[in-house]
Amino acid sequence: EEKGSSRYLYKLFIKGPAKQATKLAGLPKPVKCI
């Protein structure tokens, strides 16, 4: 499975890749969270 695919990212970040990745990076929550 390709590591850049949406399916792979959702396996890493179950609650949503954008939401969890920004939290880990210390960035503000995205406005439109998928």
State the first-to-last Cα distance of the chain, in angstroms, to the nearest integer.
22
Domain ranges of the chain: 1-34
> In this predicted model, what pLDDT tens digit does every residue of 1-34 receive, in sequence order?
688 888 888 888 888 888 888 888 999 877 776 5
Say whether 5 is catalytic. Answer: no
SS3 letters across the chain:
CCCCCHHHHHHHCCCCHHHHHHHHHCCCCCCCCC
What pLDDT, on a 0 to 100 scale, did the predictor assign at position 34? 55
What pLDDT, on a 0 to 100 scale, did the predictor assign at position 26? 93
Which of 10, 15, 27, 33 is flagged as catalytic? 33
Token reading at 25 = 């990076």
